[in-house]
Structure 1
């Protein structure tokens, strides 16, 4: 008669044989059941809600019989067995040893990582390591009780699961889609889901390109120990043969990664083409960080032809830096290589060196913050030309600059909550120029004293509906002495006037030009915080300066026309942002002249939530030869994805040149995802053409099976069972 209580019985090691007791661990097994009895022939029988625990393994069953003489467990199911790795085994009945590691399970089904399922007529566990499954079906798709087959499965005569190596070995395997055999493999090896870095093939993809032809890309992953791996991806197409590679290695104090490819293209006159991109980061003694970046390409169009990158200026750099609370040090050597049509690397500053040092002090006697900085910069052109061009400076000029500065900052809080800040400093700039032309100075030195006073008055108001309003007017008066020397304008060539430099004493982004004399800047910002979850802000500002700032000793103006800073009163800067709880964010800024005509404008809107990720950008720039822009720029860029059904997601991109009234790039795709497969079909078109580029259309088809080396990315994609 079953007693309606739960009994806790500890199976001490003395129940086992004396020899087993000497070798077994000290942790006892624990048995929990509704009824437990010990028979005359020394058998322990537990029935009703039986649960056994031993060394992290957990067994539940309807009945367990333990034979003290043989040390075996006879289990009547349905039973479940969970191992230390979290794998779940479900069976109808079993015969196991006392350690729950070896034995036979009938009608067994293994569920690994809540993803991969292995169902077998019989399973044998041996050596506490191997699971041998006979007449097995393997799938990561959800299996329903309505009799319908899973979307895909692997049927095998035998499957061996090596728990130590975490590998699955298949004998006489059949790959089936909806129970239809599409592939037969006498031998097959796959990683189990617990293995993060398994040697083997990754998701292949089919590609159809108007340039490359029709082909297939099959990546193969090779782990090299615990800290290195190599991925090889051969690509075979009708017009191209390519081998891609990626090498990664982690060190105790750093990491490196290199990506590259070698190709033979029928449409190219070069017999062999390729590229190499690499990055690295290492921690050095005394908190220094070493970084390097490598970007190499065999020719101007390889990266675009094969879709690796649209970069047309390659950067190779090695740097060492250290950032602490009150100190910053950096040194770098950079090499630039232009792949743009019409640009000559001989007349561009392709090699540059930079050394920077900055330190903060907090003097107690005068208060505030004292900041010292020093910068050494040099750039080199390979051209030896000394002939003067339209700006009177030779194309082969080389420049070295030393800049040191000492600044003092101090802030106060005045009555009524007004925040005042004062800044003063002295800057020394020294330039050495070679091959600058016969009319330019070969060296120049300039001292620049600076003064700036800024007042801010933040005002806050909260309403009874918990709405918060913040208004902050700002005004600044500044002065810079000295004059701009007659040297080439090499660094401060592209000026952006925005909220970040509105209240800087100089809006130039490099020391070879500075704003000098008196200037005033004002601005006001307004922000509204609504408890409903949305927030809006608006800011505007403008700069006023002396008339003589516009000219450079009678030469062409230092500021370009489209910078918004060329006139005595700068263009009006207006910027705004809106965001709400649904994930919608809209940001815009623009420069408007005295007639309120637009000089520059940009806007971006994005909408991001669980089902939607869409972004649109618009840019408008007026024509400006000084910024190498002979015609105006008006361009739209839209990209995003939308999940319109449980398993279906659409994605698209479009880039449109409104000034030229033509598309630049367009693409669309459709992805089907569930718990066991990802299928993507995509098409893209590049419309741009030049003397070295042709328009190109690409079709892509990718099928990825999850469950072995990759898990389902989102549980919401899991299908439901319906009768």
Structure 2
């Protein structure tokens, strides 16, 4: 019969010693585990800067390491022991538990053939089929396990560890000495699952692994990296920080690739852990075609925020570039950039920060693949914001710069600053909600109309709104509203948007009063399978009939898209620079379908009518001369406003330019959580021809995930606009549990040409990831050394070790006389 004893009965005089030794056994065992497991973890977690050089890991990072949270042992808790036989050796001062020994302590469980507590030597030994299961679920197996009372020395023979995530560690011996240094002999580590019948996909083996806790380092002697049991490469010695070190200076994973313009290149980043609050990563790119692109990233964190500065520069040899010889001299010499971002919390409601990019020329960052080749604008911003439950304040300073071939000096502008303020009164006013909004803008632009003077504009605007929602006994809702608006403008060296003439210096004001009501009458019906809501909506707005907007430049109201989302907006312009005037009616019909089984569908159709007063969207004949000399018969532009190049400042075909607008239709269909269709359409009010379409489809069905977007805008030769029609799509297809296919494209249907396309084939199991990605950009801007680009990138990642990238412009070699090496 098995004998069951409590550990307190081992020796009445020293129960805590036995308990402490058993606790120590757990501490020692998992101290050994952390030592050998630290190497794979540390390679990707020791330096926070690694994340800014490599893609996001394909494997989830364990929050508390491979073996979970470090346990703290309470020496006052009871230790439970059971065994087939318990022997007291009073002469040898030993307590021996034999046969099916099991010891439980704080959710840790130790089993062995025999456990010996040597009171004289202050050691606890377990031998024969030793298995230790800790509270985190890790399992340690060994043939022999000895630990001294003071934790300073210990020995484990034939160590085998299986972590919660199935990572495995094995060693012939584990030795702890001086209470500080732990050594493993002939050790191996792998995170790959294997049944033992064949070698793991990969593992790390070393003759000796030494963990020095005082120095916080782990060193390897005769280390080898193996795949399928075959050694791939080895190092006689290497060392890295242990898992207790969050930041330490050292090299990061390299980035290697090739390009037709840059040649073969490599980046080997070095991370400087200068302080707990700031660091620096030096990552020069060595290129066979251009030399060295020097790059460095500085980051600093404070208690209330953080900022970063990224530097890049090269002394470029223009003669090595495949561009027009006339341009080679322009591209010779130093090129570089500074990118800095910051964000700080100043108080509970207030924040400040910046996002600024300074560069020697507008193609440097795109040419060296530091920015996307599709980037069309450079926007620099400094901001100061405050927000509470009912208040919002923001001050922004902007600099805008165009990166397209046809961008001129007019594309460069500086906003200093733009101020926004919104406030909602807490208490109801006449039973409704009263809100106040303000906007102030100061803007300048180089190369104005008159000589070389800057264009300058300053505007201050204030708006007060009131609204109240009422519902009668029939369910009809009435929302009366009123608005007061005032603007003061000072302009210099601008073009009059109404007459087309240049304006030297002027100060003008405008004001607007409006009032109206929105009425909706929802009809609800229920059928066997769904509920139906049919809701007619009508809105009437009466305003000042005519407001002089001649000298108000259009800067923030150029993005004019008329669709169902702004059908009932009281001002359909996107910004403050333009106002709706006169009396306008907006009408629509909305239908909502909700099946009892889930899902929903909603459709809204409507139209807008200018009933009286000036239509600010109308296209009037405007004499326009790009030189500002005055009206010329041969330069007539029909538009609601023009810029300094006599181009319309917003779409002259918005669908609102006549007294009866185009029809708008919005459809939002989601029969299940895995299918969603959104369509926003605009049709001609005379013949119902399609004028604009924006459609998005998202599908998740089994192994397939897909999102597609289709856009269309009609052509109008009278205004020099051509039809634009393109489609973009992203998809993912899981072929098997380990293989998947990813892809994306953007295609110009009118030009029958791809804009971008990409495809990725990916393999990922429990410990290894391999992907091959093909990217293609069909963008050409010869004047700015931007050419079509095709690249292939290989990415390999080993769980807990990190990744490796290789990127190559393979098609550059296919289309040239060069041949890739090897």
| TM-score calculated relative to the size of structure 1 | 0.87
Q: Does 1:671 align with 2:735?
A: no
1:72-108 Cα shifts (integer Å, max 9, x gaps): 1121243344678886533222112347774111111
Cα distance in 2 for partners of 1:106, 1:624 equals 84
User: Secondary structure in 2 aligned to 1:512?
Assistant: coil
1:720 corresponding residue in structure 2:
none
User: Secondary structure in 2 aligned to 1:303?
Assistant: helix
Please list, as runs of the form range in 1=range in 2, the aligned pairs for 1:16-165 lying within 5 A after superposition. Answer: 27=76, 30-35=79-84, 37-41=86-90, 42-47=93-98, 50-52=101-103, 59-81=110-132, 88-98=139-149, 102-111=153-162, 114=165, 116-127=167-178, 129-146=180-197, 148-162=198-212
> Aligned-pair distance for 1:163?
5.9
Please list, as runs of the form range in 1=range in 2, the aligned pairs for 1:206-217 lying within 5 A after superposition. Answer: 206-217=256-267
CA contact (8 A) 1:220 1:233 kept: yes
Aligned residue pairs total 698
1:469 corresponding residue in structure 2:
532
Bigger Cα displacement from structure 2, 297-306 vs 416-425: 297-306
Cα distance in 2 for partners of 1:663, 1:566 equals 34
1:603-642 Cα shifts (integer Å, max 9, x gaps): 1222347844432222112346899x74221112122332
The structure-2 alpha-carbon separation of the partners of 1:306 and 1:32, relative to structure 1 and needing over 3 Å to count, comes to: farther
Bigger Cα displacement from structure 2, 369-378 vs 616-625: 616-625
> Aligned-pair distance for 1:26?
5.0
User: Secondary structure in 1 aligned to 2:653?
Assistant: helix
User: Secondary structure in 1 aligned to 2:386?
Assistant: strand
1:586 corresponding residue in structure 2:
677
> Aligned-pair distance for 1:199?
5.3
2:362 corresponding residue in structure 1:
300
Q: Does 1:448 align with 2:497?
A: no
Cα distance in 2 for partners of 1:703, 1:212 equals 23
Cα distance in 1 for partners of 2:208, 2:234 equals 14
> Aligned-pair distance for 1:136?
1.3
Q: Does 1:689 align with 2:738?
A: no
Q: Does 1:280 align with 2:342?
A: yes
Match for residue 564 of structure 1 among 655, 658, 662 = 655
CA contact (8 A) 1:115 1:707 kept: no
Cα distance in 2 for partners of 1:525, 1:650 equals 40
2:559 corresponding residue in structure 1:
494
CA contact (8 A) 2:152 2:179 kept: yes
User: Secondary structure in 2 aligned to 1:416?
Assistant: coil
User: Secondary structure in 2 aligned to 1:149?
Assistant: coil
Match for residue 174 of structure 1 among 218, 221, 224 = 224
Match for residue 289 of structure 2 among 228, 239, 252 = 239
CA contact (8 A) 2:415 2:441 kept: no
CA contact (8 A) 1:560 1:624 kept: no
Q: Does 1:703 align with 2:796?
A: yes
1:614 corresponding residue in structure 2:
706
The structure-2 alpha-carbon separation of the partners of 1:183 and 1:242, relative to structure 1 and needing over 3 Å to count, comes to: farther
Match for residue 378 of structure 1 among 442, 449, 474 = 442
Cα distance in 1 for partners of 2:238, 2:163 equals 19
1:343 corresponding residue in structure 2:
407
2:386 corresponding residue in structure 1:
322
Match for residue 642 of structure 1 among 729, 733, 741 = 733
Q: Does 1:408 align with 2:473?
A: no
Cα distance in 2 for partners of 1:274, 1:640 equals 37
CA contact (8 A) 1:560 1:566 kept: no
Cα distance in 2 for partners of 1:131, 1:356 equals 62
Bigger Cα displacement from structure 2, 85-94 vs 191-200: 191-200
Q: Which runs of 5+ in 1 are unaligned?
A: 388-393, 711-723
User: Secondary structure in 1 aligned to 2:564?
Assistant: coil
User: Secondary structure in 2 aligned to 1:367?
Assistant: coil
Bigger Cα displacement from structure 2, 639-648 vs 241-250: 241-250
The structure-2 alpha-carbon separation of the partners of 1:136 and 1:205, relative to structure 1 and needing over 3 Å to count, comes to: same
2:61 corresponding residue in structure 1:
none
CA contact (8 A) 2:449 2:494 kept: no
Bigger Cα displacement from structure 2, 651-660 vs 609-618: 609-618
Bigger Cα displacement from structure 2, 105-114 vs 310-319: 105-114
> Aligned-pair distance for 1:531?
4.4
Bigger Cα displacement from structure 2, 629-638 vs 366-375: 629-638
2:2 corresponding residue in structure 1:
2
> Aligned-pair distance for 1:666?
1.9
The structure-2 alpha-carbon separation of the partners of 1:228 and 1:65, relative to structure 1 and needing over 3 Å to count, comes to: same
Bigger Cα displacement from structure 2, 213-222 vs 492-501: 213-222
1:396-447 Cα shifts (integer Å, max 9, x gaps): 5311111012221111111222221111121111110111367547121111
The structure-2 alpha-carbon separation of the partners of 1:122 and 1:264, relative to structure 1 and needing over 3 Å to count, comes to: farther
2:568 corresponding residue in structure 1:
503
Cα distance in 2 for partners of 1:133, 1:124 equals 6
CA contact (8 A) 2:83 2:102 kept: no
Bigger Cα displacement from structure 2, 341-350 vs 448-457: 341-350
Bigger Cα displacement from structure 2, 178-187 vs 361-370: 361-370
The structure-2 alpha-carbon separation of the partners of 1:642 and 1:134, relative to structure 1 and needing over 3 Å to count, comes to: same
Q: Does 1:256 align with 2:307?
A: yes
Bigger Cα displacement from structure 2, 536-545 vs 237-246: 237-246
1:216-258 Cα shifts (integer Å, max 9, x gaps): 4444555444444444444334324434444433321112244
The structure-2 alpha-carbon separation of the partners of 1:364 and 1:17, relative to structure 1 and needing over 3 Å to count, comes to: closer
Cα distance in 2 for partners of 1:193, 1:172 equals 21
Cα distance in 2 for partners of 1:249, 1:181 equals 42
Cα distance in 1 for partners of 2:273, 2:508 equals 57
Cα distance in 1 for partners of 2:379, 2:307 equals 17
Match for residue 574 of structure 1 among 631, 641, 665 = 665
CA contact (8 A) 1:7 1:33 kept: yes
2:324 corresponding residue in structure 1:
none
User: Secondary structure in 2 aligned to 1:79?
Assistant: strand
| TM-score calculated relative to the size of structure 2 | 0.77
> Aligned-pair distance for 1:151?
1.7
> Aligned-pair distance for 1:138?
2.1
Cα distance in 2 for partners of 1:396, 1:630 equals 29
> Aligned-pair distance for 1:709?
6.4
Cα distance in 2 for partners of 1:496, 1:155 equals 63
The structure-2 alpha-carbon separation of the partners of 1:380 and 1:469, relative to structure 1 and needing over 3 Å to count, comes to: same
CA contact (8 A) 1:542 1:570 kept: yes
1:713 corresponding residue in structure 2:
none
1:261-300 Cα shifts (integer Å, max 9, x gaps): 4346642733343334332211113621112111233323
Match for residue 480 of structure 1 among 537, 543, 546 = 543
> Aligned-pair distance for 1:589?
1.0
> Aligned-pair distance for 1:511?
2.8
> Aligned-pair distance for 1:471?
3.1
The structure-2 alpha-carbon separation of the partners of 1:286 and 1:31, relative to structure 1 and needing over 3 Å to count, comes to: closer
> Aligned-pair distance for 1:31?
3.1
Bigger Cα displacement from structure 2, 57-66 vs 696-705: 57-66
Cα distance in 1 for partners of 2:338, 2:717 equals 34
1:390 corresponding residue in structure 2:
none
The structure-2 alpha-carbon separation of the partners of 1:591 and 1:127, relative to structure 1 and needing over 3 Å to count, comes to: farther
> Aligned-pair distance for 1:190?
4.5
1:721 corresponding residue in structure 2:
none
